[in-house]
Structure 1
């Protein structure tokens, strides 16, 4: 007979009883049901979202640039959303099979129109796909939407071409 602090635990099981197991299962079901019923679509007002971006830019912060690359029926389109920039602040280059997108910013304390000293920030460095026409890449800045759109049309000469390669012995 085992005695622990004056109580008799000889006939007590070492693990929770079957009743306790049922309680745990029912409690889990209640939690899951409550979780499923509380799922709702959270809507964040646009003015709060704008103030979050504003709070990031106070005291020298910078709004992050948003890039989107998509394949459309005519080719590839890269969309760059960079607030408070002009068309002159962007530079788009093709170098060694890569498309490079930069933005130039005035140094702190200089006005926006100063061309003497500006800092460069890399926005995108993309490998160009083989089916893109490198000669006809175009870029257009939409001032009202504050979007830079870089368009790479497909190279139709490469699209459906088939090469036969002889195997040497």
Structure 2
């Protein structure tokens, strides 16, 4: 029989929930490299399955995160998740946002942010007299 665990909301508000539930978490590493064709973001998270990393683009930000389940009071209650941010990076203006891609290989994720083929948005503006 599975034990019924009840944690008061006051305690949940004051603990590192993601680190306390499910035996804790390991530290992730995020590195960014600039190559000839674009930027590469490498993410390594021991103990996290390949399909668990989420990659979202929102308001000029690249958001990398995973979702941790939150305890339910009973089986009938809908399962909730708590996001754990791995990285939140500002997307440079020279990136072609429509062609950002992500893949998992050799124990790490690679998110590729290609450059615009037209050179981006750089231009000089002269002052009016």
TM-score (norm 2): 0.68
1:109-143 Cα offsets, whole Å, 9 max, x none, are 9xxxxx9332210011101111111110001122x
CA RMSD of aligned residues (A): 2.6
Name the structure 2 match of 1:79.
42
- Whichever structure has more strand as a proportion of its residues is 2
Segments ≥4 residues shifted beyond 4 Å: none
Contact 2:60 2:91 survives alignment (8 Å): yes
Contact 2:34 2:40 survives alignment (8 Å): yes
- Whichever structure has more helix as a proportion of its residues is 1
Q: Does residue 132 of the first structure (1) align with residue 95 of the second (2)? A: yes
Gaps spanning 5+ residues in structure 2: where? 1-21, 73-77
Gaps spanning 5+ residues in structure 1: where? 1-58, 110-114
For residues 114-153 of structure 1, the aligned pairs below 5 Å read 116-142=79-105, 145-153=106-114
Q: Work out the number of aligned pairs and report it.
A: 104
Name the structure 2 match of 1:156.
117
TM-score (norm 1): 0.53
**Gap change, CA 1:119 and 1:165, over 3 Å in 2:** closer
